[in-house]
């Protein structure tokens, strides 16, 4: 009996795995390697084996089939590499908790291993490998992952609370894998909008042993709750304990940014990018932070790296093109800047991208001294703002537009934009500091302070009126008023969430009405589109599901359009006084 057959026989004797009925995907650009892996799996009795010769082909297969096991090479030739395939599979939830992902590669560099590890393959196997080593590792990982097999369906249905309860049931008769189940339970609770329950899980784990993943998870909850100093201390402790725990670096930088400490955030991001440079979001954040601080060499390097690694990534971002165009303007390279803007419009398209390209074009011309062309861009944007039928763009675009308009000598339109941004973000202190800096640069410091103060009060008054109507039992009037508030401030998270909560309250009082439920879903979908991951999203969706007839048909209909956000909601809408 061969070594491979002996492994298969041992697994079968233990009753651990029915290899014959599992579905496998082999991803490698060399047909010979795929054939070797296929034969290894067939020796275990595997019958259902699909193959992909490229990252793009792998993604097509993953989107159609729920595989039990994926064996994926890191280097796949042209197109997506193995890290990018794994990254997209995780982001799109194409793998179930019990599925196994083995990354197979000849790459031994720290950046390659860490880049893949960030997206949590179940094992990283260095070539060359023998069949016996491969199958031993596969057996070991498979047996461990099967503790999640009963949780799979709830996870696939996005019923994260039920999946969390199934974790408890599994723990009751499987103490050996208790820590893995508790980690999964905490993740599910966060997805369900239950951070306080997740916090208890992390604290329970930390009482037994000082796991960095538990400390990092607890620190994220502290950060989201506004306990920034405590979160900062915990992230720093994780990094001190493990200087390769890259997620702690990213979260530490985010905490510094929430505190308005841009230089400190830059230092952390720079270290993180050196440790693991193949992350599109990290390079984008580093480039934007460096540009904000005027560090042009680092900004240029980060944005160019972001474009390079983003070419075949699901995380590819237009921000890198706009950021690099601004860098080129600082270097007085107008030709390259305009080329980048044209590339952004060509590759991403859409009205929003075209608008941002026009704004950035004007800023480039102004920064390179071509004031005539800059003024022309400003005039076009001012005319667009005068059209009241058009909705205002997103916050970052408004800030860039205001900066350009002030620079070319326009005053009224950018003031209106900055007041609009303030009303939509009235409780976002770091952002309001950025608004004030734009006023400062326009030599409107004192006026800016008063405008920000008045705009914040206007937003608070508008929200509190709806909440007061709700509290005094005037639900119909509250619903109508929040519609007015949403139209006036379409990007204000507090108004949007309170509007959805008031709609749900009316449904709870009057019974299920499809039109009102659809309106609440539309509000929440809008939130998730403009700011994914907001704290109150998932639990409001669950409240709607409980109200719907036929066992949550509302949530089922919306499930394909959203990913449950982290965080919790209070029992009633928030006002500015409480």
pLDDT one-digit tens code per residue, 212-233: 999 999 999 999 888 999 999 9
For the cut 80, the answer to whether the pLDDT of residue 340 exceeds it is yes
Location of structure tokens 């696939």:
156
* Whole-Å CA distances, 389 to 72, 186, 288, 386: 50, 45, 32, 9
pLDDT digits (tens, 9 = 90+) for 28-86: 999 988 998 898 888 888 899 999 999 999 999 999 999 999 999 988 988 898 889 99
Closest CA to 501 of 565, 572, 563: 572
Asked if residue 324 lies in contact with residue 303, where contact means CB atoms within 8 angstroms, the answer is yes
Residue 320 lies in a domain: no
CATH number at residue 90: 3.40.50.2300
What's the mean pLDDT when you consider all of the chain? 86
Q: 3-class SS at 104?
A: strand
Judged against a pLDDT cut of 90, whether residue 331 lies above it is answered with yes
User: pLDDT tens digits, residue range 247-259?
Assistant: 999 999 999 998 9
Residue 186 lies in a domain: no
Q: What does the pLDDT read at residue 113?
A: 58
Sheet of 100-105, strands arranged across:
48-52, 23-27, 69-73, 100-105, 123-126
> What does the pLDDT read at residue 184?
92
Out of 29-38, 229-238, 513-522, the most confident range is 229-238
pLDDT-derived band at 15, boundaries 50, 70, 90:
very low
Q: Please work out, in degrees rounded to the nearest 5, the angle formed at the alpha carbon of residue 81 by the alpha carbons of 77 and 86.
A: 150
The token duo for 294 is: 């005027």
Q: Is residue 578 scored above 80 in pLDDT?
A: no
The pLDDT value given to residue 575: 38
* 516 DSSP 8-state letter: H
d(CA 232, CA 226): 11
Q: Extract the tokens encoding 200.
A: 């208890």
Residue 532 forms part of a structural domain: yes
Structural domain includes residue 456: no
Q: What is the pLDDT of residue 21?
A: 85
Residue 66 domain-assigned (yes or no): yes
Range of lowest pLDDT (73-77, 231-235, 529-533, 553-557) = 553-557
- Domain assignment present for 471: yes
Tens-place pLDDT, residues 127-150 = 777 777 777 888 888 888 888 888
The residue out of 146, 162, 183 marking a domain boundary is: 146
Residues paired with residue 71 on neighbouring β-strands, in sequence order: 26, 102
- 236 C-beta neighbours (distance < 10 Å), count: 15
pLDDT at residue 555 is higher than 50: no
Which of 159-163, 331-335, 349-353, 505-509 has maximum average pLDDT?
331-335
Could you tell me if 498 and 482 are in contact, meaning their C-beta atoms sit under 8 angstroms apart?
Answer: yes
CB-based burial label for 152 (10 Å; 0-12, 13-18, 19+): middle
pLDDT (tens digit per residue) in 458-490: 999 999 999 999 999 999 999 999 999 999 999
Per-residue model confidence as pLDDT tens digits over 252-297: 999 999 898 999 999 999 999 998 898 999 999 999 999 999 999 9
Q: Compute the distance between CA of residue 163 and CA of residue 145 in angstroms, rounded to an integer.
A: 15
Sorted by sequence, the CB contacts under 8 Å of residue 497 that are 6+ apart come out as 527, 534, 536, 540, 569, 573
Q: Is the pLDDT of residue 330 over 90?
A: yes
Give the count of domains, the chain: 2
Instruction: Note the pLDDT of residue 310.
Output: 93
Return the percentage of the chain with pLDDT > 70, whole number.
Answer: 88
* H or E stretch at 228: helix 228-241
Closest CA to 231 of 271, 259, 193, 208: 259
pLDDT reported for residue 111:
59
In-domain check, residue 136: yes
Between 531 and 311, the more confident residue is 311
Q: Which of 376, 355, 279 is nearest to 320 (CA)?
A: 279
Q: Which DSSP state fits 497?
A: H
Domain with residue 535: its CATH number is: 1.25.40.10
In degrees, rounded to 5, the angle at the alpha carbon of residue 509 between the alpha carbons of residues 504 and 511 is 85
3-state secondary structure of 202: helix
Bridge partner residues of 125 (DSSP): 104
The whole domain housing 535 covers 461-562
Q: Is 266 in a helix, a strand, or coil?
A: helix
Residue at a domain's end among 127, 146, 165? 146
DSSP assigned state of 531: S
With pLDDT > 90 as the criterion, what percentage of the chain qualifies?
Answer: 55
Spell out the SS3 assignment of 437-478.
Answer: HHHHHCCCHHHHHHHHHHHHHHHHHHHHHHHHHHHCCCHHHH
CA distances from 511 to 231, 504, 520, 544 (A): 42, 10, 14, 12
Q: pTM for the full model?
A: 0.77
- Tell me which of 146, 171, 191 is where a domain ends: 146
- Measure the N-to-C terminal CA separation of the chain; round to a whole number of Å: 73
Q: What is the pLDDT of residue 24?
A: 94
Q: What is the Cα–Cα distance from 320 to 340, expressed in whole angstroms?
A: 10
pLDDT beyond 80 at 11: no
pLDDT band at 2 (very low <50, low <70, confident <90, very high): very low
Residue 115: its pLDDT value, please?
57
Residue 474 lies in a domain: yes
Residue 563 pLDDT: 41
Residue 404 contacts residue 370 (beta carbons within 8 Å): no
Residue-level pLDDT at 7: 44
Higher pLDDT among residues 123 and 365, named by residue: 365
Report the run of H or E that residue 27 belongs to, with start and end.
strand 23-27
Residue 417 clears pLDDT 90, i.e. is over it: yes
The pLDDT-based confidence of 241 (bands split at 50, 70, 90) is very high
């Amino acid at each position: 009996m061969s070594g491979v057959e002996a492994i298969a026989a041992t697994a079968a004797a233990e009753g651990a795995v029915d290899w014959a009925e599992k579905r496998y995907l082999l991803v490698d650009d060399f047909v010979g390697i795929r054939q070797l892996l296929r034969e290894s799996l067939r020796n275990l009795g595997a019958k259902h084996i699909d193959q992909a010769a490229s990252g793009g082909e792998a993604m097509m297969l993953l989107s159609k089939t729920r595989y039990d096991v994926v064996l994926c090479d890191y280097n796949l030739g042209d197109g997506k590499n193995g890290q990018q395939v794994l990254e997209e599979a995780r982001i799109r939830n194409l793998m179930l908790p019990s599925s196994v992902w083995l990354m197979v590669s000849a790459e031994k560099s720290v950046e390659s291993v860490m880049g893949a590890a960030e997206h949590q393959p179940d094992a990283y196997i260095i070539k060359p490998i023998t069949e016996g080593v491969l199958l031993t590792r596969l057996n070991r990982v498979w047996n461990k992952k099967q503790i999640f097999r009963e949780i799979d369906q709830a996870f696939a249905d996005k019923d994260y609370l039920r999946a969390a309860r199934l974790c408890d049931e599994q723990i009751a008769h499987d103490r050996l894998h208790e820590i893995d189940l508790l980690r999964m339970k905490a993740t599910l609770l966060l997805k369900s909008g239950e951070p306080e329950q997740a916090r208890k899980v992390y604290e329970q784990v930390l009482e037994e042993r000082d796991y960095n993943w538990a400390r990092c998870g607890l620190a994220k909850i502290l950060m989201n709750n506004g306990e920034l100093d405590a979160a900062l201390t915990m992230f720093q402790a994780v990094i001190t304990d493990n200087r390769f725990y890259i997620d702690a670096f990213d979260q530490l930088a985010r905490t510094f940014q929430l505190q308005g400490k841009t230089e400190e955030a830059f230092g952390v991001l720079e270290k993180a990018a050196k440790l693991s440079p193949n992350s599109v979001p990290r390079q984008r954040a580093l480039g934007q932070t460096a540009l904000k601080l005027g560090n042009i060499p680092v900004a240029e390097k980060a944005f160019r790296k972001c474009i390079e690694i983003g070419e075949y990534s699901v995380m590819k971002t237009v921000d890198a093109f706009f950021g690099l165009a601004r860098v080129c303007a600082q270097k007085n390279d107008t030709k390259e800047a305009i080329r980048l803007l044209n590339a952004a419009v060509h590759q991403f398209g859409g009205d929003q991208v075209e608008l941002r390209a026009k704004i950035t074009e004007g800023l480039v011309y102004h920064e390179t001294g071509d004031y005539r062309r800059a003024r022309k861009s400003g005039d076009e944007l001012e005319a667009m703002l005068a059209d009241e039928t058009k909705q205002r763009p997103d916050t970052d675009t408004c800030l860039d537009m205001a900066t350009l308009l002030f620079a070319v000598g326009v005053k009224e339109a950018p003031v209106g934009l900055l007041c609009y941004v303030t009303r939509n973000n009235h409780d976002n202190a770091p952002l309001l500091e950025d608004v004030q800096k734009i006023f400062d640069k326009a030599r409107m410091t004192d006026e800016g302070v008063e405008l920000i103060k008045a705009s914040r009060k206007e937003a608070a008054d508008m929200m509190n009126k709806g909440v007061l109507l709700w509290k005094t039992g005037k639900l119909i009037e509250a619903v109508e008023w929040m519609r007015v508030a949403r139209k006036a401030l379409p990007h204000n998270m507090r108004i949007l969430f309170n509007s959805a909560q008031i709609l749900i309250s009316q449904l709870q009082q009057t019974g299920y009405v499809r039109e009102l439920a659809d309106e609440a879903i539309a509000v929440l979908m809008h939130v998730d589109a403009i700011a994914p991951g907001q704290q109150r999203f998932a639990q409001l969706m669950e409240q709607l599901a409980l109200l719907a007839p036929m066992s949550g048909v509302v949530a089922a209909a919306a499930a394909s359009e959203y990913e449950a956000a982290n965080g919790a909601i209070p029992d009633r809408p928030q006002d500015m006084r409480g």
